[in-house]
């Protein structure tokens, strides 16, 4: 049976289609007695409003979209919570899209979001130079880059964290604990967040009078717990004489996978290998050996990006793009407890 239309509801309630539309969109503008008749007809006919048609008629969508790199990473869950807080106050829905570090999938989502004419797109992108991002803006869809510092030559707001400073914080912490044989675990190096953290790590080595090349590099294919476990196998495969006594991981999932592998093999953390992560997701503090990490203000990132997006969506040409950069903070826990070493 075809679903009831707005015309069926109007006929059943004895009112115009416009009155039914008012009941759906501006109920306070309709007399209570009339509103009750329409609501009774809607319930009796089982009418379901067509949100797409309504939004098309209104000329603008009631939906925001956030396109993330890896939906299984709690970092993005926390950023999304911040975005949702703003979407809720604006009575908007939020589409969460996951590229899973796949550039083709990111393209497909950007194409779909362009066709959907969503109110605005927030993105932590695989490729910030993706021409589909520019095309979205050319279609009048505001775009805000999340978790990314300013991009030269691009005309949009950005909200990010100073990941270079974050890398410096991590390595300085290990150096101050007496470590000199330090490894960086992270990848792919195409992800700007990873390369910025590595840049900061190398800079901290040089600031301490060491060579950046003294920092060992264990590259991973992605930033997952499984990648962290595999990196642990490679770390323990190094000759004991040259094996790093401390590791800075590009994010907490890598660090938790490394921690799991080392603990399973009876390697003591931090006494044999100290570990520092990045993000301060909820599981960092809850780990078997609470994880030292570099904290990012995750929900604040999401709230700030969403507010910038709404400002642009509401004010159009009167909106002025902003580039917000938050500073990370080191959260020292047991996984790198300062152990004075001669190493
Ligand atoms: O998405 C990869 C990583 O970059 C996340 O863990 C988070 O640190 C982001 O900044």
Q: 211: domain CATH number? A: 3.40.50.2300
Residues 34 and 88 in one domain: no
d(CA 107, CA 109): 5
Residues 67 and 17 in one domain: no
Distance 233 CA to ligand 1 centre (A): 22
d(CA 255, CA 161): 19
Residues 314 and 284 in one domain: no
Domain hosting residue 79, numbered range: 61-160+298-325
Q: State the pLDDT at residue 58.
A: 60
Is residue 54 domain-resident? no
Residues 167 and 288 in one domain: yes
Atom of ligand 1 nearest to the CA of 147: 10
Residues 302 and 291 in one domain: no
Is residue 1 domain-resident? no
Is residue 343 domain-resident? no
SS3 230: helix
Distance 49 CA to ligand 1 centre (A): 39
- 343 residues of the chain, pLDDT tens digit each: 578 889 999 999 999 998 998 898 888 889 999 999 999 999 999 998 877 666 666 667 899 999 999 999 999 999 999 999 999 999 999 999 999 989 999 999 999 998 888 999 999 998 888 899 988 888 889 999 999 877 666 689 999 999 999 999 999 999 999 999 999 999 999 889 999 999 999 999 999 999 999 999 999 999 999 999 999 999 999 998 989 999 999 999 999 999 999 999 999 999 999 999 999 999 999 999 999 999 999 999 999 999 999 999 999 889 999 999 999 999 999 999 865 555 4
Question: Using a 6 Å cutoff on CB, does residue 66 contact ligand 1?
Answer: no
- CATH code of 17's domain: 1.10.260.40
Number of structural domains found in the chain: 3
Do the Cβ atoms of 139 and 119 come closer than 8 Å?
A: no
Residues 155 and 178 in one domain: no
Is residue 56 domain-resident? no
As to burial, measured by CB atoms within 10 angstroms (0-12 exposed, 13-18 middle, 19+ buried), residue 315 is exposed
d(CA 301, CA 159): 6
Residues 90 and 134 in one domain: yes
Question: Using a 6 Å cutoff on CB, does residue 275 contact ligand 1?
Answer: no
Residues 218 and 132 in one domain: no
Q: State the pLDDT at residue 13.
A: 95
User: 302-338 pLDDT, tens per residue?
Assistant: 999 999 999 999 998 899 999 999 999 999 999 998 6
Residues 272 and 253 in one domain: yes
Is residue 312 domain-resident? yes
Is residue 33 domain-resident? yes
Residues 311 and 244 in one domain: no
d(CA 211, CA 182): 12
Distance 251 CA to ligand 1 centre (A): 6
Phi, psi of 53 (to 5 degrees): -65, -40
Average predicted confidence (pLDDT) for the chain = 92
Q: In the numeric block, which tokens belong to residue 301?
A: 């990132």
Residues 270 and 197 in one domain: yes
Do the Cβ atoms of 87 and 120 come closer than 8 Å?
A: no
Question: Smallest Cα–Cα separation from 200: which of 164, 249, 171, 251?
Answer: 164
Residues 37 and 86 in one domain: no
Among 78, 166, 193, say which to mutate for ligand 1: greatest number of ligand atoms within 8 Å of CB: 193
Q: State the pLDDT at residue 137.
A: 86
Q: How many other β-carbons are positioned within 10 Å of the β-carbon of residue 263?
A: 15
Do the Cβ atoms of 280 and 331 come closer than 8 Å?
A: yes
């Amino acid at each position: 049976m075809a679903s009831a239309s707005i015309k069926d509801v109007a006929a059943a309630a004895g009112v115009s289609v416009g009155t039914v539309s008012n009941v759906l969109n501006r109920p306070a503008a309709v007399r209570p007695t009339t509103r009750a008749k329409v609501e009774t007809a809607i319930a009796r006919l089982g009418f379901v409003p067509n949100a797409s048609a309504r939004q098309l008629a209104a000329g603008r969508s009631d939906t925001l979209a956030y396109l993330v790199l890896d939906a299984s990473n709690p970092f993005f869950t926390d950023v999304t919570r911040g975005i949702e807080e703003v979407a809720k106050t604006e009575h908007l829905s939020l589409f969460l899209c996951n590229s899973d570090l796949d550039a083709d999938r990111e393209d497909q989502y950007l194409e779909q979001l362009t066709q959907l004419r969503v109110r605005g797109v927030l993105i932590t992108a695989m490729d910030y130079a993706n021409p589909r991002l520019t095309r979205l803006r050319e279609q009048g869809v505001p775009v805000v880059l999340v978790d990314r510092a300013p991009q030269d030559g691009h005309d949009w707001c950005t909200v990010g964290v100073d990941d270079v400073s974050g890398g410096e914080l991590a390595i300085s912490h290990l150096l101050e604990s007496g470590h000199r044989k330090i490894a960086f675990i992270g990848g792919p190096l195409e992800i700007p967040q990873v390369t910025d953290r590595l840049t900061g790590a190398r800079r901290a080595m040089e600031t301490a009078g060491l060579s950046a090349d003294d920092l060992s590099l264990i590259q991973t294919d992605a930033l997952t717990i499984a990648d962290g476990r595999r990196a642990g196998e490679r770390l323990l495969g190094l000759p004991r004489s040259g094996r790093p006594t401390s590791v800075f991981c590009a994010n907490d999932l890598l660090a938790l996978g490394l921690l799991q592998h080392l603990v399973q093999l009876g390697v003591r953390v931090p006494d044999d290998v100290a570990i520092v992560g990045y993000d301060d997701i909820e599981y960092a503090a809850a780990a078997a050996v609470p994880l030292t990490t570099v904290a990012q203000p995750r929900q604040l990132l999401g709230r700030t990006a969403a507010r910038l997006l709404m400002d642009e969506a509401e004010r159009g040409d009167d909106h002025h793009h902003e580039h917000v950069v938050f500073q990370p903070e080191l959260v020292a826990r047991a996984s790198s407890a300062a152990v004075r070493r001669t190493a």
